[in-house]
Amino acid sequence: MSAPALIELCGVSKRYGERVVLEEVSFALPRNATTVLVGPSGAGKSTVLRLLVGLARPDAGRILVDGEDVASLDRDGWMTLRKRFGMLFQEGALFNSMSVLDNVAFPLRHHTKLERAEREQRALAKLAAVGINEELAARTPDTLSGGQRKRVGLARALALDPEIVLFDEPTAGLDPVTSAAIDAMIVDVGARLKTTFLVITHDVHSCAAIAQHIGLLLEGKLLLFGGRDEILESTDPTVRQFFDRKAEGPIRVT
Amino acid sequence: MNAPGSALVVEIGRTAQFAWQVLQRSLRPRFASLILPAAHDLGVGSVLLVCIVCAFAGAMLAVQGHASLYTLGAPELLGTFVGYGGVREIFPLVAAGVVGARAGSAIAAEIATLKLGEQLDALTVMAIDPIAYLAVPRFIAAILVMPLVMVFGTLAGLGAAFLTASVQLQVDPGSYLARLYVSLQPFDLWAILIKGVVFGAIIAVVTAAEGFRAHGGTAGVGAAANRAVVRAVIMGSIVNLALSQALFGGWQ
């Protein structure tokens, strides 16, 4: 028997009130590779991330991490599990009350026994890896550009050297050039760290640039999941409509 | 679910649940280093305003008390009146109202901003319990600082009442103070401290709860702050009535 997948979703469903957001979604996240879940807005992409980190609970189905069902975790169990995750939030979710450096050192301060100087050194190294210099590190996040905030958010997500990094729409709200730079950064960091990345986005350019595996979510259902080329070259009309950005096709624009 | 009043019951239940979560975590505070800054915000930031408002309340209490007692021909009883009405009721309630409005709206707005900016989710994902990180230090700070703020407010109110009585209303200072002294007992200081702890707890829990429940964009921050103050003030008033009845209602 092979080792269990790092993360596996088995028939996961989630509804908010009457609205079904995810319906029987199943996939195993490939280890040490970048997987991109794409789909139109409202397809349930964000919900997948929220379920993985325990910000929401599935109504049906199981989520396995290292083969263990997360439904059995209590509050402490979740806290332990979450230390293995890093997450880049859409707007960065940084604390404007502290400097960029302190933001990145924040997880180190609370989850390691490192001395202050050591924490700051580690945080500066993480910031350097995403292209943020010491001068920017001394500023507060609200004085940075959108692209810079995303970089800082990634540095913070990487602070504890997580096994899995989740990205919530990393290029949303950025201009095309900055988006390309963020994509390049994700590819670069992914290649160096050989960590498991899960990215959700509706940006097909970004998806093509960074993905090694792709899943296409549509109205709460996982339509396809496979290797990058297999999906991008698919002749399925739905897949084509989405990746070729056509208004006409099986996907209804609501 | 739609029976009249069911929404109120649900809300009270939610706030009670939140209060329980805060209490549980307060027994072993994980972020003790945040208590002092929170205490500074709450105490130092409010005490001057509390003293000013209590002083005005004290002066008015003296004027109206004097007007009532003068008709009875016993203006020197003003000391007794200020002792009972001011020290036991008006000054603590005014102090709580001021802190509730000032610090309470700040607590709710701050937490609501973090909620809507996904920072609360970010804390959770970073394996840091947002209630332990944000609500518990403010809760502990409030129950420690609020009694002191109320003592200062009471002193300011007493001072202003005395000045108004002796300078403006020409009440004999010696007999005023003697009446005041007789009306006050050590128990009254305890009552202020008890009320301080209770008001502090209510302000911190109710306003933080509203912050955590904020929703709906930037307008949600204002709405949360608004709800927080309204609820803290209403609940504070109800609990004040209950406490005053228990402490001074003559049941002993």
Question: pLDDT of A70-82, one tens digit each?
Answer: 989 998 899 999 9
Confidence of residue A3 (pLDDT cuts 50, 70, 90): low
User: Edge-to-edge strand order for the sheet containing A19-29?
Assistant: A19-29, A7-16, A60-65, A68-69
A19-31 pLDDT, tens digit per residue, is: 899 999 999 999 9
Specify the pLDDT at position B6. 86
Specify the pLDDT at position B249. 81
A116-146 pLDDT, tens digit per residue, is: 999 999 999 999 999 999 999 999 999 999 9
Specify the pLDDT at position A139. 96
Closest residue to A87, CB basis, from B125, B128, B129: B125
Residues of B in contact with A79 (CB under 8 A): 127, 129
* Close Cβ partners of B98 (under 8 Å, ≥ 6 residues apart): B46, B49, B50, B53, B153
Structure tokens at A239: 């897949």
| The pLDDT of residue A63 is above 90 | yes
Specify the pLDDT at position B101. 92
The angle formed by the CA atoms of residues B215, A41 and A65, to the nearest 5 degrees, is 80
Closest residue to B122, CB basis, from A80, A83, A93: A93
Q: How far apart are CA A60 and CA B140, in angstroms?
A: 40
Helices B186-212, B217-248: inter-axial angle, 10-degree rounding: 160
Specify the pLDDT at position B251. 61
Specify the pLDDT at position A42. 79
Which A residues in the span 76-105 are in contact with B, Cβ-Cβ below 8 Å? 78-80, 82-83, 85, 87, 89-91, 93-95
The CA distances from residue A130 to A126, A134, B24, in Å, are 7, 12, 40
3-state secondary structure of A144: coil
Specify the pLDDT at position A251. 81
User: Which residue ranges in chain B fall short of pLDDT 70?
Assistant: 1-4, 251-252
> ipTM value of the model?
0.91
Domain boundaries, chain A: 1-84+163-254, 95-162
Q: How many CB atoms lie within 10 A of CB A120?
A: 18
Specify the pLDDT at position B218. 84
Beta strands at A164-168 and A221-227: parallel, antiparallel or unpaired: unpaired
Q: Which of A159, A245, A165, A238 is nearest to A202 (CA)?
A: A245
Task: With CB atoms and an 8 Å threshold, state whether B126 touches A89.
Answer: no
Q: How far apart are CA A116 and CA A109, in angstroms?
A: 8
What rounded mean pLDDT belongs to chain A?
Answer: 91
A150-155 average pLDDT score:
94
The CA distances from residue A234 to A35, A177, A206, A251, B49, in Å, are 17, 28, 18, 16, 69
3-state secondary structure of A224: strand
* CA-based radius of gyration for chain A: 18
Q: How far apart are CA A87 and CA A66, in angstroms?
A: 19
At the fourth CATH level, the homologous superfamily of domain A1-84+163-254 is P-loop containing nucleotide triphosphate hydrolases (3.40.50.300)
Specify the pLDDT at position A194. 85
